[in-house]
Amino acid sequence: MKNSERAKIFAPFSPLKSFGEALREKEIVRVPKTELAEERIAELDEILHRVEVGSEVSVVYYDNGIYEKITGLVSGIDSLAKTLSIAKRTILFDNIYDIKL
């Protein structure tokens, strides 16, 4: 028996792979979106006006029932669509909870 064929025999096998993924999904605690005060919205708007493509930012944003944090370089800003792109993630301005330059 060739070594390459022998390795296939001992490869890990998980017939319940999707079951583990389903369990991890159940562990996520979904929360309602927090409504920001007008003053906080104005602060975030001021910060967003200073952000430029290539700036490094750290953003906490609401996505599908959870708050996530991403840090990276801004790859795009769309004022008309009101979106901020970091790497391959596009975030709506309305979903931003906090942003730091």
> Which domain CATH number covers 87?
2.30.30.520
pTM of the model: 0.73
Task: Provide the number of structural domains found in the chain.
Answer: 1
Q: Within a domain: residue 25? A: no
**By residue range, what is the domain housing residue 99?**
34-101
Q: How far is CA 46 from CA 16, 22, 26, 39, in A?
A: 49, 40, 37, 11
Q: Within a domain: residue 57? A: yes
Q: Within a domain: residue 60? A: yes
Q: How confident is the model at residue 19, as a pLDDT?
A: 75
Q: How confident is the model at residue 30, as a pLDDT?
A: 86
Q: How confident is the model at residue 28, as a pLDDT?
A: 79
Q: Within a domain: residue 24? A: no
Edge-to-edge strands, sheet with 56-63: 89-92, 83-86, 66-78, 56-63, 96-100
Q: Within a domain: residue 1? A: no
Q: How confident is the model at residue 9, as a pLDDT?
A: 62
Which residues of the chain register pLDDT less than 70?
1-16
Q: How confident is the model at residue 51, as a pLDDT?
A: 93
Q: Which residues contact 60 (CB under 8 A, 6 or more apart)?
A: 67, 68, 69, 96, 97, 98, 99
Q: Within a domain: residue 85? A: yes
Q: Within a domain: residue 2? A: no
Q: Within a domain: residue 23? A: no
Q: How confident is the model at residue 87, as a pLDDT?
A: 86
